[in-house]
Each structure stands twice: as C-alpha cells, then as structure tokens.
Amino acid sequence: MVRLNRIYTRTGDDGTTGLTGGGRRFKHDLRVEAMGVVDETNAAIGLARLHTDGEIDAVLARAQNDLFDLGADLSTPAGPEPLPFEPLRIVNAQVERLEREIDAFNAALPPLRSFVLPGGLPAAAALHLARTVCRRAERVAVALSAQEPGQVSPAVVRYLNRLSDLLFVLGRAANGNGAQDVLWRPGANR
C-alpha cells in the first residue's frame, strides 16, 4: 500500500525525479516524459468519466487503475542488478481484457464509412480527447523503447495501443452507438 504523508519533498527542486527502482532522472528525460503523458492520459479519462456511467464508466475505471500500474512499470526500468522487490508490470492479461472490451462494444456499432471527427456528445468528445493523449503516450513509450532497448516492456506499448483503440470505440458507443458520430466529409469546405 502506498502512503503519502507529505506531498512536497523538495527532492525535485533540482530538476530531477526519483524512479521506483532507485536512481534519479532529469524531468526532461524521455522515461519521465512517458510517465507524464501516461498521467495525462489518466487525467483525460477522469474528465471523460464526468460524462459517463454504466459499463463505459466501469471500463474507464479499470483503465485508470491499469494506467497507474503502467506508470509503475515505466518507473522501474530493468537494471543490471536484480531488484530487492518484485516490480509491478503490465501483463498480457490486461491487454487481452482491453481487446475483449473493444470487441464487445464494437459489436453494437455500425460499420464506419468515413473517419469520425472528435465531437458529438460531451462524453464522446472527452473520450476522443483522451484517445489522442493516449496515442501521444504510446508514441513516447515507443521512442523510449527505441532509446533504451530492453528497458520497456512490450506489454506497455501494446496496452497503450489497445487503450487508444478502446477509447475510440467507447467514444462511438457514447455517441448513441454511432448515431451521433460526426463524420469527416472529404473536401466539404472547398
């Protein structure tokens, strides 16, 4: 269990932040950036939840908890020495759960004939925003993986990829199962 008795520690005043496995990184470090964008994704999902209920809200609540697991995973890079504790890692079962949720919600949606513009009902617009932030988190995690080979779990990247897909499908579901989707009309404003 996490205990936070004090919110400010002053340890970051030098522009660094601590990692779970030990060590410090500058706040502009790509690993810290990845953790930050995952946190932004979580906050965007929290805003979207202000407009959701029922099963969509339950799915989002699970995703928010998973994103803390994912942040812990990113905060604990593998090192040359074994850690004195078992690090929290994203596992394939979490990715597979997202896939089942995508399939379940997508089954009720009509097929797309055009790209969907972010918008429609408030819940859908908020979910589309969360999707775009999640895609940014994925891009940063991929860049980190390339910069630090073997130090980012492949499950982290898969999770973020599936989560962004899920947020897209949930956006359509929140738009009356696609009835309120705003579709792109190529060249409509020429």
pLDDT by residue (tens digit) across 7-41?
677 766 667 777 787 787 767 889 999 999 999 99
pLDDT number for residue 74: 96
| 70 falls within a domain | yes
**Is residue 9 in a domain?**
no
Is residue 6 domain-resident? no
Domain membership flag for residue 22: yes
- Whether 167 contacts 118, CB under 8 Å: no
The number of distinct structural domains making up the chain is 1
Asked whether residue 44 is domain-assigned, the answer is yes
Residue 165 lies in a domain: yes
CATH code assigned at 28: 1.20.1200.10
143 burial (CB, 10 Å; 0-12 / 13-18 / 19+) is middle
Residue 23 lies in a domain: yes
Global pTM value: 0.92
Count of helix runs (H) and strand runs (E) in the chain: 5, 4
Q: Is residue 33 part of a domain?
A: yes
Range of the domain at 112: 17-183
pLDDT in tens, 86-99: 999 999 999 999 99
